[in-house]
Amino acid sequence: MTVPTITLNDQTTIPQLGFGVFQVPPEETAATVSKAFEAGYRHIDTAQMYGNEQGVGDAIAASGIARDELYVTTKLNNGFHRPDDAARELARSLEKLQLDHVDLVLIHWPLPTRYDGDYVSTWRALIDFQKTGGATSIGVSNFQPEHLDRVIEETGVVPVVNQIEVHPFFNNQAARAASAGHDIVVEAWSPIAKGAVNDDSTIKGIAAKVERTPAQVALRWHLQRGDIVFPKSMRAERMAENFALFDFELSGEDMAEITSLDRGEDGRLGPNPDAFDYIPN
């Protein structure tokens, strides 16, 4: 199965389907990511906050997969937004990942109520990290439309992606549209709503019709909308299921029906980025 790539606004390419490691316990990460490699995944989405970059690095080192066949993303943790902290901790990420560069690094959360509302100097720290060769591409996560406008206006550097919560029950359309307006590709986190798509009668009905699982239908919906996804699973059979997305297609009608499941803010599973201010110890 060949995973399609998307060309980003810095002319690099990214596999549209990857594997996410949020909530994969550190001690199980190397084995889990190795299983994901066996299933065919080559794009891994981790973060400093997940505490499992070392395990991702160990799996990469053991895999024997050529570096240019892999796409690795990490994210700057909320406690490290000051430029000096960012530079130091991003260098530590490379050590843990055992890489001389990541393909993509993101600001994990904008934290508009922290750091005197300054996420622009953090964005400049990522620009500097890219200049020194630490990351091929730089982007953001959980940025609302005004956060995107501000970093672009003040630095002239456009993030390549905005990684935001998107799934059938929370379309997050304002942030998606603002991203598209800046030629920023959306990465949809919690793409199967943490498994809740399995309990939805509309998605189950479409799945029965196209002879796929509800998770496959939801993931296919994202892909056909042009978003990037990286579902997480600890189980080999689900890793394989979530990877088998390229031999069927959803009709326009099915697509629209899934989109109409949007519950607006009530559908959000994660925190609202305007208020989220968590800084880990």
Ligand X SMILES: NC(=O)c1ccc[n+]([C@@H]2O[C@H](COP(=O)([O-])OP(=O)(O)OC[C@H]3O[C@@H](n4cnc5c(N)ncnc54)[C@H](OP(=O)(O)O)[C@@H]3O)[C@@H](O)[C@H]2O)c1
Q: Under the criterion CB under 6 A, does residue 227 sit at the interface with ligand X?
A: no
| Distances from the Cα of 13 to the Cα of 39, 127, 164, angstroms | 21, 19, 19
Of the pair 136, 233, the CB lying nearest ligand X is at 233
Q: Under the criterion CB under 6 A, does residue 184 sit at the interface with ligand X?
A: no
Non-local (6+) Cβ contacts of 197 within 8 A are 167, 168, 203, 214, 215, 217, 218
Out of 50, 71, 119, 278, the active site residue is 50
Q: Taking contact as CB under 6 A, which single stretch among the options 81-89, 95-103, 113-121, 184-192 is the one that binds ligand X?
A: 184-192
Q: Which 3 state secondary structure label does DSSP give 7?
A: strand
Q: Which 3 state secondary structure label does DSSP give 64?
A: coil
DSSP H helices, the chain, are 26-39, 53-63, 83-97, 120-131, 145-155, 173-181, 201-210, 214-225, 236-243, 252-259
Q: Taking contact as CB under 6 A, which single stretch among the options 132-140, 153-161, 176-184, 187-195 is the one that binds ligand X?
A: 187-195
Q: Under the criterion CB under 6 A, does residue 41 sit at the interface with ligand X?
A: no
Contact, 227 vs 188, CB < 8 A?
Answer: yes
Q: Under the criterion CB under 6 A, does residue 215 sit at the interface with ligand X?
A: yes
The number of C-alpha atoms within 13 Å of 114 and in the hemisphere containing its C-beta is 17
Contact, 45 vs 19, CB < 8 A?
Answer: yes
d(C-alpha 115, C-alpha 112), whole Å: 8
Q: Taking contact as CB under 6 A, which single stretch among the options 5-13, 52-60, 152-160, 238-246 is the one that binds ligand X?
A: 238-246
> For ligand X, how many residues bind (rule: CB under 6 A)?
27
DSSP 3-state percent helix, strand, coil across the chain (nearest 5): 45, 15, 35
Return the closest-CA partner of residue 8 out of 83, 77, 85, 103. 103
Nearest distance from residue 94's CB to ligand X, in Å?
A: 19
Nearest distance from residue 143's CB to ligand X, in Å?
A: 10
Q: Under the criterion CB under 6 A, does residue 5 sit at the interface with ligand X?
A: no
Q: Under the criterion CB under 6 A, does residue 232 sit at the interface with ligand X?
A: yes
Nearest distance from residue 246's CB to ligand X, in Å?
A: 16
Of residues 235, 248, 264, 279, which one binds ligand X by CB under 6 A? 235
Of residues 242, 243, 245, 254, which one binds ligand X by CB under 6 A? 242
d(C-alpha 135, C-alpha 89), whole Å: 13
Q: Under the criterion CB under 6 A, does residue 29 sit at the interface with ligand X?
A: no
Q: Under the criterion CB under 6 A, does residue 240 sit at the interface with ligand X?
A: no
Which residues, 112 to 171, sit near ligand X by CB under 6 A? 141-142, 163
Q: Which 3 state secondary structure label does DSSP give 158?
A: coil
Whether 50 is catalytic: yes
Place of tokens 């000051």: 82
Binding mask 103-122 vs ligand X (x if CB under 6 A, - otherwise)?
Answer: -----x--------------
Which residues, 250 to 279, sit near ligand X by CB under 6 A? 270
Residues with catalytic function: 50
Using CB under 6 A as the criterion, which residues of the chain lie in contact with ligand X when the complex forms? 20-22, 45, 108, 141-142, 163, 189-195, 198, 215, 230-235, 238, 241-242, 270
